[in-house]
Amino acid sequence: MKGRTDAPADRGFLVGVCFFILGLGTLLPWNFFMTASLYFQGRLNTTEWSNSTGVVRHEYHFNNWMTLLSQLPLLLFTLLNSFLYHRISGTIRIAGSLVCILVLFIITAVLVKVPMEEDRFFSVTMATIWFINSFGAVLQGSLFGLVGLLPQKYSAIFMSGQGLAGTFAAIAMLISIGSEADSESAALGYFITPCMGTLVTLSSYLLLQRLEFAQFHLNKGNKYEPGTTDGLLKGSSTVANGKLNGHANGSAEAEVDSCPDGIKHAFLSQEEDDMAQAKSSVMEVFKKIWVMAFCVVFVFIVTLSVFPAVTADTRTAFPANKWDRYFISVCCFLIFNVNDWLGRTVTTLVQWPSKESRLFPLLVVSRVVFIPLLMLCNVQKRSYLPVYFSHDAAFSAIMSFFSLSSGYFVCLTMSYAPQLVEPKDAETAGALMTFFLALGLSIGAALSFPLRALV
């Protein structure tokens, strides 16, 4: 492939399929643990009976802790990944993270059949959530960098796969609940599903490295055929680590000196242009995208402050039938994930307001209205606030608009930010937005504790 300038075809769209599966795999851990909140609460919030009165021995606030311990490692390891990026190869970071996630899912599946005291089970589960999301953060950051090397449509495919991860988990939970198996066997089957999904994700990554189209884009850049004017002029950009086109500076200068004067002048002019196009500092880039950074933080603060910590405790108005078993899986998790994915998808057709519009941040801030609306639904147990929206249809409608707006504004902010800077700074803008996305998730997770207590 050395010196090749024409991109091969993506035969059978296999590269696109691989990136869709990789996107799906990056968010499987978070979504499978979140959707299984009823299983975990069933094992943790056990009840003691005294004089025919049921009393919960200990309230673990599983949803709050799960959300916080999922998002904190995302923030920390997103930062860590920026240091690991140039020190550890992408294959080790991606394949290694997937193997570790697979092992942790297997442990979770095994624990379904292992009797364990509640406090110990809670500690083991929280540790598993922490580590599985730590590896997930490294995996996600690495794959975002990888897909950025391909044409833009592959980034959209990757994010579409991420958007469907929650729907995949919700459907798996519905199948588990609807099966005739006992609760332990149903839970075991549920957690075996992400084990298989992670294996498929790992296989997709290994296949990706063998596809010619992916190899061309992932390995292209600083290669040219020695002795060809076209390769010299097109491939003469300065790269990091003091190297030019794969040669040490000394050998590159020797090649320039051996060229005819006209080519030498063109080569040096190109090098000077590249030096003039040096990337802006992080602070300079931040000054251009701070509005989008604020927007992505605020979107996730609103979303994670009530979902799932508050929404997963909502109860149906019709408890005396089988619908009670499906209510949370359908009206909370399935509705959220389907509409979040729809919101992301709509941005390929509609992008309003524009990135320069002052209305954009105002609409993002207006989403704060969903916090009291969801807190006033039939959330149980409650101590302070009244129930204003007790009907299932009201809760479902609020959840639909809540999740649709979340997906829509997240996708817009993440796509708008790189457009606000020069192309040479787009990578820096993307890295900054990833950090602020994780920051918003972490703040929202922390806020879920006082908001749940306020209900």
Q: Is residue 32's pLDDT more than 70?
A: yes
From 13-22, 141-150, 204-213, 431-440, the region with the lowest mean pLDDT: 141-150
7-220 and 280-455 have identical folds: yes
- Provide the pLDDT for residue 274: 52
In Å, what is the CA distance from 379 to each residue of 42, 385, 390? 17, 10, 9
Which tokens sit at 271? Answer: 């090098």
d(CA 110, CA 260) in angstroms, rounded, equals: 69
**CA 180/CA 170 separation, integer angstroms:** 18
The domain ranges of the chain are: 7-220, 224-276, 280-455
Q: Which CATH class is domain 7-220?
A: mainly alpha
pLDDT of the residue at 348: 77
pLDDT grade, residue 385 (50/70/90)?
very high
Tell me the whole-structure pTM to 2 decimals: 0.76
Looking at residues 368-395, what average pLDDT do you find?
95
More confident residue, 382 or 81: 382
State the pLDDT at residue 195. Answer: 94
Sequence-ordered list of residues with C-beta below 8 angstroms from that of 322, at least 6 positions apart, any chain: none
Q: What is the pLDDT of residues 239-261, one digit of tens each?
A: 333 333 333 333 334 444 444 45
DSSP assignment of 400-421 equals: HHHHHHHHHHHHHHHHHHHHTS
DSSP single-letter state for residue 54: E
According to the model, what pLDDT value does residue 84 have? 66
Q: How confident is the model at residue 363 (pLDDT cuts 50, 70, 90)?
A: very high
Per-residue pLDDT, averaged over 159-169, amounts to 86
- The pLDDT value recorded for residue 138 is 85
pLDDT tens column, 99-115: 999 999 999 999 999 99
Q: Which residue has the higher pLDDT, 158 or 276?
A: 158
Put residue 241 in one of left, alpha, beta given phi > 0 → left and psi -120 to 50 → alpha.
left
Q: Which CATH number fits domain 280-455: 1.20.1250, 1.10.600, 2.60.40, 1.10.443?
A: 1.20.1250
Instruction: Quote the mean pLDDT of the chain.
Output: 81
Q: Which tens digit of pLDDT belongs to each residue from 293-312? A: 999 999 999 999 999 999 99
What is the token pair recorded at 47?
């009840």
